[in-house]
Amino acid sequence: MDMLKEVFSSKHMLSLGKPMLLTRFLQPVTGIGLVVANGETWSHERRVIGPAFHSDKLKGFVQTMVNLTLNMSESWVQTLSKHGEGEIEIEGSMNELTSDIIAHTQFGSSYKRGRIIFQLLEELKEFINKYGHLLIIPGVRYLPIPAFMRLRKMTTIVETSIQEIIMERRAAVKAGKKSSYGADLLGLMLSECERIGEDKKQPLLTMQQLVDECKTFFFAGHETTAQLLTWALLLLAHDLTWQERARTEILNFCKGKLPDFDSISRMKTVEMIIYETLRLFAPASSIVRSALCDMKIGDLYVKKGMCFWIPIAAIHLDPELWGGSVYEFNPGRFADGISKAAKHPMAFMPFAHGPRNCIGQNFALIEAKAVLAVLLTKFSFTPSPSYRHSPHLMITTRPKYGAPIIVKRVSSSQH
């Protein structure tokens, strides 16, 4: 763990990066965004984009997250029986919900086009799952093969669509039709670009970099949060005690009103459930760091191009770090915070550690809290007999055979 601490430290943030094979694998859906950028390119992009993901900037998105979850709840009610109970495939619902949330929060009033972009990115993601093993071959994507021709066409459509939205925003501000670029993620990013661009020592992000960051937010902001919510609801369906504790906490803080940023910020039980879900089913099972130059890590001399594989899933399920109950769902282990949940303060790493940690973790945690705060006050969840437990690693950890759950409306008299 001591070597792990050094790998994640700021000392090596420019000399350790993402390997070229990973870049080739993810490039269709992320471009060269923060997920795969390295060195000074990564450092500059992080400085420009980072402020848009501070909690004070994200609090304005909570109402959108809550409203979209309420819309989904209404559609659930329509599908339940007259007794207010039925089976719902949770994974599909969470995918749909988080895609709506990212489309609204990233593109605001342009969310309809955002949804079209998202659908194409979903197709690109399926392409990676099917042909990703070939993408690591240099130049293979340019071969005149139908599948790769479709890949190039989809990539062009996605990038052109995002460019049009960006150019429209800039044109509207330049013409004085709008006073700002907007309060959505794209608007915050463009505003930050302009602010930093006033310092002539630093260049603005290029159009391609802006497009790549939008693609990255779509992919990372949707896929990982959808799986987090899916696994959280599955775990709560199998543990009615923690489900009821969370429901009681939500009702106490919301006091009959809709959740808002202040109320969800105080929901410690919900937060512990989210952390325990991330421990048991981390969105990414491992992290890879590649040496960008010859270097020394601890007592180890590392040649340029060598990789460190950090097995998140194995660390999260190590009895020596987490104790004998490591395989049990026990959110209470996070009662005293993340650093004291295990025997080593860095044992919990769903978002990595250090300067290259996940820039969107605040967004993901706020979104997960907002969604659970709505759903747990409107429905109760119990296991479905048709559920087959089989975590399956694709790009993220997903339930291989879906996630059916028995959903039942919670009457107001039960609140």
Please tell me whether 358 is known to bind a ligand. Answer: yes
Instruction: Please choose, from the candidates 96, 20, 93, 104, the residue with its C-alpha nearest in 3D space to the C-alpha of residue 60.
Output: 104
- CA terminus-to-terminus distance, the chain: 45
Instruction: Please choose, from the candidates 384, 346, 371, the residue with its C-alpha nearest in 3D space to the C-alpha of residue 270.
Output: 371
* Cβ-based neighbour number of residue 285 at 10 Å: 15
- Residues 45, 40: Cα–Cα separation, whole Å: 8
Tokens of 160: 């052109």
- Residues 364, 352: Cα–Cα separation, whole Å: 14
- Residues 318, 310: Cα–Cα separation, whole Å: 13
Cα distances from 246 to residues 240, 249, 369, 382, in angstroms, run 10, 5, 11, 15
* Cβ-based neighbour number of residue 327 at 10 Å: 10
Q: Angle at CA 39, nearest 5°, toward 36 and 44? A: 90
Q: At what angle do helices 207-237 and 39-49 cross, to 10 degrees?
A: 70
Tokens of 80: 């339940």
Q: Residue 183 class from Cβ within 10 Å (0-12 exposed, 13-18 middle, 19+ buried)? A: middle
DSSP code for 212: H
Instruction: Please choose, from the candidates 64, 271, 97, the residue with its C-alpha nearest in 3D space to the C-alpha of residue 185.
Output: 64
Q: Which residues pair with 379 in a beta bridge?
A: 409
- Contact between 14 and 292 under an 8 Å Cβ cutoff? The reply is yes
Q: Which residues contact 257 (CB under 8 A, 6 or more apart)?
A: 263
Q: Which residues contact 307 (CB under 8 A, 6 or more apart)?
A: 19, 288, 289, 290, 291
DSSP code for 205: P
The SS3 of residue 43 is helix
Q: Which residues pair with 302 in a beta bridge?
A: 295
Annotated binding site for heme: 358
Q: Which residues are annotated as a binding site?
A: 358
